[in-house]
Every structure is written in C-alpha cells, then in structure tokens.
Structure 1
Amino acid sequence: MTGAGRMDPATEAFLAHRNLLFTVAYEMLGSAADAEDALQETWLRWVRVDLGQVSDQRAYLVRITTRRALDRLRTLKRRKEAYVGQWLPEPLLTTPDVAEDVELAESVSMALMLVMETLSPTERAVFVLREVFDIDYEEIAAAVGKAPATVRQIAHRARRHVDARRPREVVSPSQARAVVESFRRALETRDLQGLLDVLAPEVVLVADGGGRKQAIPQPITGADKVARAIVGGLGKAQGTFTSEATVVNGNPALLLGLDGELDGVMAVQIEDDRITGLYYVRNPNKLTRMASETPLTLR
C-alpha cells in the first residue's frame, strides 16, 4: 500500500488480473491448490519487476503465471503417476456468470480438462493460452520458451488431439437442468430404469477417492454397467443419502451427502439430452472449494 491507503501500482495491477491468472493456472493444472501456489510465485516475481519497462502488464503477468504453472505441471505429472486410483480435476463451485459463458464453461468442464490431461505439459500450456484465451503466438512463445513457428505447430497438434476427443454438443442450461433433475430423482429412489432413461449408451463413470475414500478403481463404460454400479453403490451406503443440484466448473453437478455431510461432488456431462460422463470426486482434499464460489474469467 502507498500513502493515504492507496494501493501501489504493482498490487493494483496484480489484483486487477488475479481472476484471469487463476483461471490460466487452474486450466493448466486442474488443481486449485496448485493454481494458488503458482499465483503466489507469480506475485513474488511481479513485485521485483520494474513496471516502467513493462508495456503490457496483463501479458507480462500471464507470461509469469504460465511459466510457474508449467514448472508445477511437470511436478504434478509425477505426482499423478503415484496417485491412488483414478485422478480427476479439483472441482470448483462457480459463479452463475461462468455457466452463462459457453466458451469458459466448456474450457473448465471436467470432460475437457480430462482430455487436456492427455497432452504434454507444453502442449497443454499452448492449447490453453491459444484456444481458450486467444493469446497471440509470439506471446505464447515468450511464455513457454519456444520459437513462434514451433508454437504454431504445437497448437495445431494439440487442437487436433483435443477436437477428436472433446464433447460434441453443448446443451442449453434449461435442458441440462431437466436432465440433471431426472438423474437426481433416479438416484434418490434408486430407480435403475430411471437411470437408464437418462444415461447415454456410451456413458462413462469415473470416480476419484485418492486413497482417502473408496472409489471404483477403473472407469466404467456403458449405460447398463454404470446404472447397476450406481444402484449397487447406493445400496451399500451407510447412512441417509441426499443429493442437491449445483453448478461446478460452470457445468451441471450434484452435491452428494451422507448423514448431512458432503460425501462427494458428481460433475455431469450432457450431450443430446443424455448423460455421457459422470465424474465423481470423493477425495476430501479436493472438496475444499465447495463452501464458496470461485470467480473465473477469460479476460
């Protein structure tokens, strides 16, 4: 802070772009905790910068954050290899404006973030900066330490890889709410046929317990197998089961509880009025962002 309670220019610039920087780091890392650490490192470097030499503060801050996130992404990759069971991104309770921004909601959806997990760290950074945030190739090159021509090739390769695997169709919020409500009712009543009515034939169920809570060890594919796994799991639940519709990562989700305590978050991917993906995060370490909304932005 400067005199008379005014912020110094470095702090003011950092806070003005903080939500953007967090979104960049989170999309690269899939972990809010690691994104926050990347932002802390960005801040420590930013306060040592001579602002008089910076022509574009936003671009400069994004560049620092990208480098810090890239360093963490390589470490995180090794950590994921030792992870117990299936790994899912850390879910974020998001503000209503995130769901209304179709581009942003898709970019932070569990389904797309899982696709991005199949990219190399550099490919993921380039894809996020170019395809999500529309940053020019020269600036991306400065952020990832590659030549602009190389960055173009990486961007093309990453885009082709993601496009082959990303969800095919975006449904309207009202359609999504109707599907999720039908799914929620079927869960509450353990209605096998009700589940089959809303699940796509190729639906995939992935659960993340992180070794802290029991979860299915491998993804389950197919409506009948997924429906029976859900009904069977509910039958073994010890306590009173509850479900509540919410919005996580800008997309439909359910907060699932046992005896009044949050048991996990189930993100729902919907295409053609059917559920194609269920992503159930039970690891308590990844449920810390369910108490308050996290602001995300592409700008």
Structure 2
Amino acid sequence: MDAITERFEAERDRLHAVARQLLGSAADADDVVQEAWLRLHRTDAGEIDNLSAWLTTVVSRLCLDQLRRRAARREDPLDEAPPRADDTGPDPEREALLGDAVGPALVVLLDSLRPVERLSFVLHDVFAVPFDEIAEIVGRSPDAVRQLTSRARRRVQGRRPDGSIDVARQQRVVKAFLEASRHGRFDDLLAVLAPDVVVRADAVAAAMGAEVEIRTAQAVATAYNGRAKALRLALLDGVPGGVWAVAGEVKVAFEFTVVDDRITELVLVADPERLATLEVDYL
C-alpha cells in the first residue's frame, strides 16, 4: 500500500460518516467517498498541504451538489432508515449534545433545510469543522456560514421528529419575550431565557449599534429590558421571530432558537442579502 492510499484509508471512515450524515444514505456515501478517492489520484498529492481538510472539502462539495440535485427533483435518499449517531463514530459525546438533532429522526429534520444550511449545520455541529473551513467549501464568508449554521440549528431544534414545527408553542415564547422587553418586565424576561442564552449580531447589525455578542440570561435581560418597542412578531421562514421595519422594509430580523420553552439563542440579521432570502409573514 503506497503512502497516499494509506493516508486515504485512515480518513475513509470519517469521510463516510460525513457523507452519510449529509446525504442520509450509506450507498450514496459510498459513491461520494469513491469519487473523492478517484479525484485524489487525479491530483498531485504533493501539492496538498492538509490532506484531511482537502478530502473533507471534496466530499462536502460532492454532497452539496447531490443535495442540490435532490432538492431540484425532490428526491428521497434510498436507505430505509437514516443513519444513527452510533453509526458515525467520530465523536459520540458531541452528537449526544445535539439531542433530537441526531439519531433516527436526523434525516427527516435535515430534509427541511436548504442544502447549504444542511451542510453548514452537519459539518460544524456534528463534526466540529471550523466556520472558516466551511466558508471555503460553500464560497461564503465565515460570518455568513455562522449565520447559516445558527439558522439551521434553530430550525432543527424547533421541529418535531416528523419534521413539523410547533409554531404555536414557539410563538408564545417569542411573544412573551417581546412583550416583556417592550414593557420593561425584567423577571418575565428572565423566565423565558435559558441560563446560557446567547445573543449574536451579524456584521451589519453590529455596525448599526448592536452588541456583537451577549451571554447569560441576566445580561440579555438587562440589555433588552424596556427595549423591543418597535419590534413586530412575525414568521421568518415559518419560524416565529421578530422584525424591525422602516416604511415597510425589514431592516433587522430577530431569529430565535427555542428549546423546552426557553430561548437559547437570538440572532440579529441585518445583512441585506440574508434578509432578501427570508420569507416574512407578520402575525
């Protein structure tokens, strides 16, 4: 066995795990890993600085292409059952932290995501691939990938195992937050915030004066107490959130992640390109 083959074989199980989590099909994952092997042999391996990262990029892009074709044809994966967390092996503890986002319902939930969201979420939250590496794979900035991942996580965590969203339940939590914020009810704010809640603002929102990041329920409640007077409750791509609009034009979208009736994450989105992709329905 030559050195390149040996190095590839050392990566094979991990690459297969990535492909299977992305595609939901062991057969499709086999095909993708085989294609990555062929591409490696058509490439001067001596010019590859980081073989592991190079292979991850190739496999991820192949999966992304397949996901896009599948979305265009509304094609379902061939396997009868989605991959279980214990099939993948890279880091069971990390996968366990995702709760309902992994296991038998994973593929059903991920099918609700757009291909780039799905890839960003799986690579980062399941396989701990850094945002800057994912950015190179999908051709977007690290900040954009961070937002995509957060958006995907919010959708996955807010869905039932059958892929549907308990909109009414999430809406009650978001509405309670907005009303408590608007009327300065500090204790009511704390009641709907998870202890380790985090608020993040994208680069445009930060340039508009928002704090880049706020952590803990106490800090978030302090920051938003008496605020949110101009925010309106709305569905953002079908998920309850808030918007700040001027003359009917959305300037900032507030994307909430709600888990067990507590807000675990709030992302402020003001990037015009991101806002243009949002479907907003006022409530």
Q: Normalized against structure 1, the TM-score is what?
A: 0.47
Q: Which has the higher contact order (CA 8 A, sep 6+)?
A: 1
